[in-house]
Amino acid sequence: MSQSADAGSSEIPNLLLPPRRRWLSGRRAIIASSLSSVLLLGGIIAVLYLAPGGAMVRGAFFDPHSMWQAFVGDPNKGLSSVGKGLLTNAWMFVAAEALVLFFGLLLAWVRLSHSPVLFPFRVLSTMYTDVFRGVPILLVIFVVGFGVPALQLGAVSNQSPAVYGVAALTITYSAYVAEVFRAGIYSVPQGQLLAARSLGLAHSTTMRRVILPQAIRTVIPPLLNDFISLQKDTALVSTLGAIEATRAAQIYASTEFNFSSYTVASLLFLALTIPLTRFTDRLIAKDRNKRLASA
Amino acid sequence: MSDVVLSIKDVTKRFGDREVLKGVSLDLHSHEVVALIGHSGSGKSTLLRCANLLEPVSSGEISLFGQILQNPNIDDDAVRRHIGMVFQSFNLFPHLSVLDNVMLGPVHSLKESKDSARERAMALLERIGLANRAAEFPDRLSGGQQQRVAIVRSLAMQPSLLLLDEVTSALDPTLVGEVLDLLRDLARGGTTMLIATHEMAFAREVAHQIVFLDQGVLVEKGTPDQIFTNPTQEATRKFLERI
């Protein structure tokens, strides 16, 4: 029998799933997914309970009493609170993120400008991104955190380690974010630029009113990626002596010989990044709906 | 029809070794409609882009109201405020509502007050029957509607002339009519227009002058009757036979 679309073709095609795939279809898919989740979780728990060193690992990493103690801290024993430490991380990354947004955009803007006056700055901003994306952030933290105080420049050299941490994070992440912005600006179709310029809009107005609003929408997911990475890198500022969550957890671990404090610190970092991710997802969805919905 | 609005003199344009325009000269008078015809890649779009300085010319001169635009003291933005341009791919701003698309130029380029710009924008949208869609975003409109908004967006600048770059080429055949109707309307109202187009019947109907470009050379120009019934050049005849 021919397989063509002849009107006279009388063979009825078989549209059913092969038998071995049927057990995953329809409602059974939900059962299958729950089952596999339970198996995976159960597997991990089973390993923690059945492995020869299981009890030790549970006690060292997941001891509820130690976790609570690490979270609240204990001044009498000289234990810093991991929860309080996290506040230091939080203000460091909030400050750094605001600064990074500003400087990253500034660097991208300068790099894409056409003004002859800005020529030396164009070269500098290119060099800047090349250098600071290439240098490990830990080294930047050391250079800023130990170098600037050594300069003995009055107030500038008398800041807390966290402030130098923010400065170092801003220096490095601005270079990354500048490239993200640049890519976003390039992703806006050329026709948008032509249309805006043909309305007599100046280059800067075109950027502000037409190109950037569109670029920022495309740039939000990669930007978020860099911000999550920045949030975690605030932990590196502990090397300057700032008592943030990781450092507090470390102090706890080395004093009490229990690593549950690290688990607490991990959970706290997660508690910060996951809501941020969900929030951004919702922001993107809302913007998309607005543009596609009828008024 | 004596005062020259736009004058193109011996313009050449090279992209690397490729010469896209080879010594094109053309005058556009006030209230005149000139249609540019020719194969794709004949240089029609490039000529339009050179005319509003989106592309610099390689040699030759373009003047607007007698002022040579290649003079380094010319403000490109000021020139573009007087020359409206509509593109094949609409290029509406997707992040702005229809109304804001139309208002952007008057508010941020002409520095008109928002109230007066809004009033004029709404009047223009009313004219194309889309006032009720003013708050919507361009993605929601059909291609024909989008292109009409794009035309109205350039009209909001009250330009001295309009450049139209194959404005119906990206449209569904069923949507071409509404856009051509609007252009016909503008032509009747005396808008000065330079139109690159593949719509021969339309060109013949509205244009005062037809210009045939072939491989960057202005082969022939004349009235629609001359060009369509009695072309003097072999290349023109061949082109018109093929379409």
- For the stretch A152-164, pLDDT in tens is 888 888 889 999 9
Nearest to B93 among A210, A294, A295 (CB): A210
Q: Are B44 and B196 in contact (CB under 8 A)?
A: yes
**Which residues are CB-contacts of A217 (< 8 A; sequence separation ≥ 6)?**
A284, A287, B95
pLDDT tens digits, B166-205: 999 999 999 999 999 999 999 999 999 999 999 999 999 9
Q: So where are chain A's domains?
A: 89-237
Question: Nearest CB to A200: which of B81, B92, B93?
Answer: B81
pLDDT of residue A295: 47
Is the distance from CB of B38 to CB of B239 less than 8 angstroms?
Answer: yes
CB neighbourhood size of B56 (10 A): 11
- Under a CB-based contact definition with an 8 Å cutoff, are residues B17 and B58 in contact? no
Question: Is B48's pLDDT higher than 50?
Answer: yes
Q: Looking at residues A173-201, what average pLDDT do you find?
A: 96
- Chain B contact for A290, CB < 8 A? yes
| Three-state secondary structure call for residue B85 | strand
Q: How many residues does chain A have?
A: 295
pLDDT over 90 percentage in chain A: 58
- By the CB < 8 Å criterion, does B144 face chain A? no
Question: What average pLDDT does range A196-209 have in this prediction?
Answer: 95
Each residue of A99-114: pLDDT tens digit? 999 999 999 999 988 8
Q: How far apart are CA B14 and CA B58, in angstroms?
A: 6
pLDDT band at A2 (very low <50, low <70, confident <90, very high): very low
Nearest CA among B32, B164, B48, B99 for reference residue A295: B99
Cα B146 from Cα B152, distance rounded (Å) = 10
To the nearest whole Å, the CA of A274 is away from the closest chain B CA by 28
What element of type H or E holds B51? helix B44-51
Q: Which CATH architecture has domain B4-242?
A: 3-Layer(aba) Sandwich (3.40)
Say how far apart CA A201 and CA A205 lie, in whole Å: 6
Given CB atoms, is A291 within the 8 Å cutoff of chain B?
A: yes
- Residue-level pLDDT at A294: 55
**Contact check, Cβ <8 Å, B94/A195:** no
The mean per-residue pLDDT over the stretch A225-250 comes to 92
pLDDT for residue A174 is more than 80: yes
In this prediction, residue A114 carries a pLDDT of 83
Contacts of A292 in chain B (CB under 8 A): 137, 139-140
Chain B residues with CB under 8 Å of A294 CB are: 136, 140
Residue of A115, A190, A192, A198 to mutate, testing the B interface (most B Cβ within 10 Å of its Cβ): A198
Task: Quote the tokens at residue A246.
Answer: 């990781």
Q: Are residues A295 and B136, on separate chains, in Cβ contact within 8 Å?
A: yes
Distance from CA of B127 to the nearest CA of A (A): 20
Q: Is A211 on the interface with B (CB under 8 A)?
A: no
Sorting pLDDT into bands at 50, 70 and 90, what band is A1?
A: very low
What is the overall mean pLDDT for chain B?
95
| Predicted complex ipTM | 0.93
**Cβ of residue A187 closer than 8 Å to a chain B Cβ:** no
Chain A residue numbers with beta carbons less than 8 Å from the beta carbon of B93 are 192, 195-196, 210, 214
B85 or A275, which is more confident: B85
Considering the four listed CATH numbers 3.40.50.2300, 3.40.50.12780, 1.10.3720.10, 3.40.630.10, the one that applies to the domain covering A89-237 is 1.10.3720.10
The predicted-structure confidence for B52-100, as pLDDT tens digits, reads as follows: 999 999 999 999 999 999 999 999 999 999 999 999 999 999 999 999 9
Select the residue from A114, A188, A197, A199 to test the B interface by mutation, using most B Cβ atoms within 10 A: A199
Task: Answer whether residue A26 shows pLDDT above 80.
Answer: no
Contacts of A217 in chain B (CB under 8 A): 95
